[in-house]
Amino acid sequence: MGIESLASLMPVPDLLQARRVLCIQPHPDDIDVACGGTVARLADAGAEVIYLTVTDGGAGTVEPRDESELAAIRQQEQRQAGHILGVRDYRWLEYRDADYLPPQDLQLDLIAAIREVQPDTVITLDPWLPYEAHPAHRNVGLCAAAAVLFSGMGNIGGRTAAPHGVSTVAFAFTARSNQLVDVTQVWERKEQAIRAHASQFPEATWGFYGTYFRQRAALYGEQAGCALAEALKVFTPMHLHCNVDAEWL
């Protein structure tokens, strides 16, 4: 039995069939950069997209500045960017940026959010990305994955809301994608959304970032048979526990 036969037993969902999507990101801008084109395509297809941002973004600066002021700016930038992509709702946990994220507290917060929002799909960042040095990216991805696994289990996460099972989870910023999304027609909107995060992508740096983002999307596009694509690792919750084949599916 080869990996293809195993994959047929555990099929990967089609991400673009999602109807209600909760995007869990460590900072304002992460989802827009990682898979903003996919978000736009989902919204254009009628999906309701909700952004949940874990930290306040107050550490996202090279030069020292007031954290509260920067956090307010970044929240407004996220709303502007999300509007471009078609995001309908925003949730903010407001953990302090660059501070320690207590995993048990965060996991419980994310379970509660999933049960409140009741998405069929969760999109977050891949915590298993090799060489990812940012603790918030790793920790948020891990806690979001655990929350997807546990949100449908009645004895986990408290009883303040009814359990809710998620059918699909997708990891962006991944090195082992199993789904490529054609974002050619929405690429300009993705770029506009990223550039709405002006505190993170000032004009002076856009020459580099804009070139890199497009070239990377073009490489994914070559694999997908289109001009520009985004890469995600898409699973069901079944793939997230004791599954030795998940890495290769």
C-alpha–C-alpha distance, residues 87 and 94, integer Å: 19
Beta strands at 179-182 and 20-25: parallel, antiparallel or unpaired: unpaired
Q: What does the pLDDT look like over 120-138, one tens digit per residue?
A: 999 999 999 999 999 999 9
* pLDDT higher than 90, residue 42: yes
Residue at 247 is within a domain: no
Residue at 112 is within a domain: yes
Total of domains in the chain: 1
* pLDDT higher than 70, residue 3: no
Residue at 248 is within a domain: no
* pLDDT higher than 60, residue 114: yes
Residue of 157, 162, 139, 138 lying closest to 147 (CA atoms) = 157
Mean pLDDT, the chain, rounded, equals: 94
C-alpha–C-alpha distance, residues 146 and 152, integer Å: 11
Residue at 94 is within a domain: yes
Question: How confident is residue 7, by pLDDT bands cut at 50, 70 and 90?
Answer: low
Question: How confident is residue 159, by pLDDT bands cut at 50, 70 and 90?
Answer: confident
* pLDDT higher than 60, residue 57: yes
Residue at 2 is within a domain: no
* pLDDT higher than 60, residue 224: yes
Give the range of the structural domain holding residue 172, as residue numbers without chain letter.
Answer: 12-241
Residue at 3 is within a domain: no
Confidence (pLDDT) at 196: 98
CATH code, domain with 141: 3.40.50.10320
Question: How confident is residue 99, by pLDDT bands cut at 50, 70 and 90?
Answer: confident
Question: How confident is residue 183, by pLDDT bands cut at 50, 70 and 90?
Answer: very high
Paired residues of 55 in beta bridges: 95
* pLDDT higher than 90, residue 53: yes
Amino acid at the residue 97: D
**Residue 19 to residues 16, 42, 155, Cα–Cα distance (Å):** 8, 8, 27
Half-sphere exposure of 92 (CA within 13 A, CB side): 13
Q: What is the mean pLDDT of residues 165-190?
A: 98
* pLDDT higher than 80, residue 6: no
For 148, phi then psi, to 5°, come to -60, -45
* pLDDT higher than 80, residue 209: yes
Q: What would you measure as the largest C-alpha separation in the chain, in angstroms?
A: 58
Confidence (pLDDT) at 124: 98
Amino acid at the residue 207: G
The whole model's pTM is what?
0.96
Amino acid at the residue 48: E
* pLDDT higher than 90, residue 9: no
* pLDDT higher than 90, residue 157: no
Confidence (pLDDT) at 198: 96
